[in-house]
Structure 1
Amino acid sequence: MGRYDLKPDYIFESSWEVCNKVGGIYTVLSTRAKTLQDMMKDRIIFIGPDFGGDVQDCYFEEDPNLMAGWREAAASENLNVRIGRWRVPGSPVTVLVDFKPYYPQKNDIYTWLWEHYQVDSLHAYGDYDEASMFSYAAGLVVESFYNHNLGADDRVVYHGNEWMTGLGLLYVNNKLPQVATLFTTHATSIGRSIAGNMKPLYDYLFAYNGDQMAGELNMQSKHSIEKQTAWHVDCFTTVSDITANECKELLDKQVDVVLPNGFDNSFVPAPAVFARKRKKARKRMLDVASALLGERLGDDTLIVSTSGRYEFRNKGVDVYIEAMNRLLRDKVLHKKVVAFIEVPGWVGEPRRDLQERLASGKDYDTPLEVPLVTHWLHEMSHDCVLDTLKYYDMHNRQEDNVKVIFLPCYLDGNDGILNMSYYDIVLGNDLCIYPSYYEPWGYTPLEAIAFKVPCITTDLSGFGLWANSIKGGYSELIDGVKVIHRTDYNYSEVADNIKETVADFSNFTDSQVKKARANADALSKKALWSEFIKYYFEAYAIALEKAERRVAGLK
């Protein structure tokens, strides 16, 4: 039995997505920050990459008075840091570190990594170098802060997220054995690659050799750092049972703890303003659709959407379009449906013709050219979404009851068309659809139900499995979440199931809609960070106990 009474005095947590909004890990950390800050009171310190510039400073507020003594010490060690607070609920202390100065030392760092941990960096390409130099710099931040401010009586945890933090975790493991290390893989790099390369992941998971597949898919370096980090840290974790199995098979390492992703409902508008914000979001979405399509869409239009990273197969964007195509051919659909695809593509610029229509405030009875997309893309003829819509002959014709609109940009409030943030938009939906094939957890459905929007997901997502566990069987839409069974090979069944679920939902009575929304809200409350944070403290205790035993062995 482990000593679960062990609690950290300080927690350092690093990620490429600290003050850098890229994907779901930003949401994990930024929504969890308040819960940890309430418990740790400025003894939780986030470490992120420093890019400088106005975009990052939307998320970060520098404070020249914070840690002034250590700031000088860091500067004397040629460690370039900015210290301040993350602009999220809880306002946790955050250190942004400049990693560019370490590029000239790259080869020496990789040699050290090979000699101590047999990490193969020879096959590195793309973002491997960038992530590794950041990770190394983050490790130096922990080392410097510890040496100047902490001591043997302090229980310290260093928590890294994803393979991008592996090098720093191994550095701290080597240089500061008294610091407990914790590693969370949110998705194995090789598992995501297998799925993204159209290979069947689940039926053959038991048979795949992770090292062999890394060679086949040119993923040796990322897989190597991830695997060695998993093996050498004090506590190895992931976010769901489905990914825990992936780690066991592909990294040959059992996780110590599963850390499900929670949510902080301070992001959700208070009841007094919720209805007004929902009405505003619906109006904006329908105004954009009406201007693009050249027809006035009434408030009884069913607004559905999918969102997330542009992983066409993994996130189920392909089967979402397939389902909308089948719904379009359904002759018994009694409502108009506008289906948004909110995934950031290679966006060029917002459409001027659409901006002009929206600015005019007029109604139009003719569609714009290419009434499928809100922003021009750099490669219009090589885009998976647009290509698939064209293949299915889906062109948002006037007589079509189902219209599909591609929003290929980050919804940060400044996209030039919607000009509202994702959280301000999501509550305007009637139904959200996330039919993922590869989804270690699934933040988008959790966010949807937190904003009282029922959603559809699959049992290949960690969140879908969790929803089923709460129900004690397959969760249905009236429960707030419809969980569809998905395998490597039942794509057509999934598309049909989505189509039927949307058609059924379009016929829900007001009381049924109200019940589904209330159940979605209630389910989201079971996934608050206040409910899930206990798993983190279990992981911290495991790591701290292992570090204590290691230090005792060194004496």
Structure 2
Amino acid sequence: MSKRSTTLANHFPAACIAEVSWEVCNQVGGIYTVIRSKAPAMVKHANGPYCMVGPYVNKNIQAELEPLDDSQDVFGQAAAILRKKGFDVLYAEWLVTGKPRVVLLNPNAVQDKSLNVVKYLLWKNHGISTPPDNALINQVILFGYLVKLFFDELVKLVDPEHPIIAHFHEWMAGLPILDIKKERMPIKTIFTTHATQLGRHLAINSPLFYAHLPFFKWEEEAKRFGIETEAKIEVSCAQQADVLSTVSEVTARECRHLLHRKPEVVVPNGLNIERFEALHEFQNQHVMNKEEIHRFVMAHFFQSYSFDLDKTLYFFTSGRYEYKNKGFDLTIEALQRLNARLKKEKSDITVVMFFVTRRDFSNIRPEVLQSKAMMQEIFQTTAAIQQQVGKRLFYQSTVQEDNHLPDLNTFVDEYWKLRYRRTLQAWKTKKNPLVVTHRLINEDQDEVLQALQAKKLLNNADDPVKVVYHPDFINVSSPLFGMDYNQFVRGCHLGIFPSYYEPWGYTPLECMASGIPSVTSDLSGFGDYILHHIEEPEKYGLFVIERGKRTFDWSAGQLTDVMYGFLMQSMRERIMQRNNVENNSSIFDWTNLIKHYKEAYVLAMKNQS
């Protein structure tokens, strides 16, 4: 960029901005986090009217919305016009930080005959054919139709001297770009792809995805994977938009080859980093949440055997179940090597590795729930004994003539002694602790379970590395943990996310915001950003595994060394590292990263199409 454009990028242009996404008020994936967390910065910096536009498909969202008077601004007036025409439209304030205004359009309320007409026009005007019975694509097409109608009304209401910028996220929101350009509407368009549809499929199925990237023919590959409509929409939106942007340099390379256009702007993802906690407070958060994880670990493992919790570290990985893309395969290989290394050294350190992802399951395994319940029974029994002994010991200490500690067993009633013995006897087992906490659907085909069995990571008593595969997201209603995901993250010691395909990667960033060290890779947008913007990131608890130009075996060795090195740190060194992580988290605050969106809007206004 020139010096002049850099200066301009520091200020939002005076414009009416509408940001369109399938994940506005509709949590599906990571884009929801982008949209929601960015809202305060957008509301603060917008130099003119600003709103978000999304699908009205989640009726449960009403609790998070405060309906607004339609006459308050041009967005509300346009929404009111569509409502008078018979469409299901809601204009409201989204009750999240920043309180952005949202227009929600219900694609499910549009008549079927309209769908057929819209599909025909999509094929006739833009050469995009659609399958007859794909429910999601039908929703996307009708949502695009409603968004275009919304912009038709908005253009009539906005002063021609006050430009409109329409910012579309991903193929599910981008269809209106095509008609806006065809009809030469006075709207500047930006299309942001967070991950190409074709790239995600190719990365899973092509062993040398990045090496072969320049040679893929998108039409042939899209047909092979059955995503012709999605890919055609994505390519068309990328080609037609005034500005193409993406979230990382990693994905920018993908765009050049699969969308045949180099993004003009990279817009990294951020979070609202609330750095108001004193250092001792977030350290206390780690200790308190670690105690809750201790309780789960004791229930899960100690019925079979025990280990020293003071010398136990908790590692975890989480996210969408994509065995190769998320680096689960590399993580399991490195865990096997770490296990062998610690066993050979006769180390007294224990590692419990949590795999937290979402898989289809029938139920939590009864033996896991039973062990948890028995653990609670033991706790209640010991608490009762403690209360009884304490009361009687206090009385005895006041009446006895010597100052020796009496035999505490005499203070326990036979009932509690018997109950204590029976409870422990019923709880203990010689079986290994289960690797997976739930009964999975198609368990025999689960790649994580297959890999754990192949690498013999089966929770044997002499294995320093233990594994807990939890195929459901963690929240406060979970009967196994009873804590939310953020609390779980704070209680762990290290997050491990060595992804092979990760356009950005929010999980290590969430660790950073919680003051927890993490591992990422140079093939993730987050890892790539770290390498280019932070010197010696290891000092700040940010470890980047090289995967782009390295073999799987080499990367597995590097990950093993990183985990081993982390284990060899003293408690004081780990505390200092958590401080460093938290201190540098502000780099990724939206207050600092919103400048990239400003750059995109300035560039859109300069583009004359």
Normalising by structure 1, we get a TM-score of: 0.90
CA 1:179 to 1:486, structure 2 compared with 1: closer, same or farther past 3 Å?
same
Residues 106-505 of structure 1 aligned to structure 2 (within 5 Å):
106-121=115-130, 125=134, 127-147=136-156, 149-174=157-182, 177-266=185-274, 273-293=281-301, 294=303, 295=305, 298-330=309-341, 331=343, 332=345, 333-359=347-373, 360-361=375-376, 362=378, 365-366=428-429, 371-472=434-535, 475=536, 477-487=538-548, 490-505=551-566
For 2:542 and 2:227, locate their aligned partners in 1 and report how far apart those are by CA, in whole Å.
Answer: 35
Counterpart in the other structure of 1:93:
101
In structure 1, stretches of 5+ residues that fail to align are: 551-555
Which amino acid in 2 is paired with 1:310?
Y
Give a deviation string over 1:152-209, Cα, whole Å, max 9, x none.
1332221111111121332444457112111100111111111112342111112222
Q: Are 2:12 and 2:45, in contact at CA under 8 Å, matched by a contact in 1?
A: no
For 2:65 and 2:369, locate their aligned partners in 1 and report how far apart those are by CA, in whole Å.
Answer: 32
Query: 1:406 is paired with a residue of what secondary structure?
Result: strand
Are 1:44 and 2:50 matched, yes or no?
Answer: yes
TM-superposed CA distance for 1:429, in Å, is 1.6
Give a deviation string over 1:451-477, Cα, whole Å, max 9, x none.
1111111111111111111235xx453
Q: Which has the higher helix share?
A: 2
For 2:297 and 2:151, locate their aligned partners in 1 and report how far apart those are by CA, in whole Å.
Answer: 49
Structure showing greater Rg? 2
Q: Are 1:31 and 1:264, in contact at CA under 8 Å, matched by a contact in 2?
A: yes
For 1:393 and 1:216, locate their aligned partners in 2 and report how far apart those are by CA, in whole Å.
Answer: 36
For 1:444 and 1:43, locate their aligned partners in 2 and report how far apart those are by CA, in whole Å.
Answer: 32
TM-superposed CA distance for 1:246, in Å, is 0.8
CA 1:368 to 1:274, structure 2 compared with 1: closer, same or farther past 3 Å?
farther
Counterpart in the other structure of 2:65:
61
Q: Are 2:17 and 2:48, in contact at CA under 8 Å, matched by a contact in 1?
A: no
Query: Which has the larger displacement, 20-29 or 516-525?
Result: 516-525
Backbone CA RMSD of aligned residues: 2.8
Which amino acid in 1 is paired with 2:541?
G
Q: Are 2:279 and 2:579, in contact at CA under 8 Å, matched by a contact in 1?
A: no
Q: Are 2:282 and 2:515, in contact at CA under 8 Å, matched by a contact in 1?
A: no
For 1:119 and 1:268, locate their aligned partners in 2 and report how far apart those are by CA, in whole Å.
Answer: 50
Give a deviation string over 1:478-508, Cα, whole Å, max 9, x none.
3321111113761122222212211111110
In structure 2, stretches of 5+ residues that fail to align are: 380-426
Query: 2:499 is paired with a residue of what secondary structure?
Result: coil
TM-superposed CA distance for 1:6, in Å, is 6.5
Query: Which has the larger displacement, 312-321 or 6-15?
Result: 6-15
CA 1:299 to 1:134, structure 2 compared with 1: closer, same or farther past 3 Å?
farther
Query: Which has the larger displacement, 122-131 or 189-198?
Result: 122-131
Q: Percent identity?
A: 29
Which amino acid in 2 is paired with 1:18?
V
Q: Are 2:57 and 2:108, in contact at CA under 8 Å, matched by a contact in 1?
A: no
Query: 1:158 is paired with a residue of what secondary structure?
Result: strand
Are 1:11 and 2:12 matched, yes or no?
Answer: no
Residue from 61, 67, 82 that aligns with 1:74: 82
For 2:35 and 2:151, locate their aligned partners in 1 and report how far apart those are by CA, in whole Å.
Answer: 18
Normalising by structure 2, we get a TM-score of: 0.82
Query: 2:495 is paired with a residue of what secondary structure?
Result: strand
CA 1:419 to 1:544, structure 2 compared with 1: closer, same or farther past 3 Å?
farther
Which amino acid in 2 is paired with 1:193?
H
Q: Are 1:239 and 1:258, in contact at CA under 8 Å, matched by a contact in 2?
A: yes
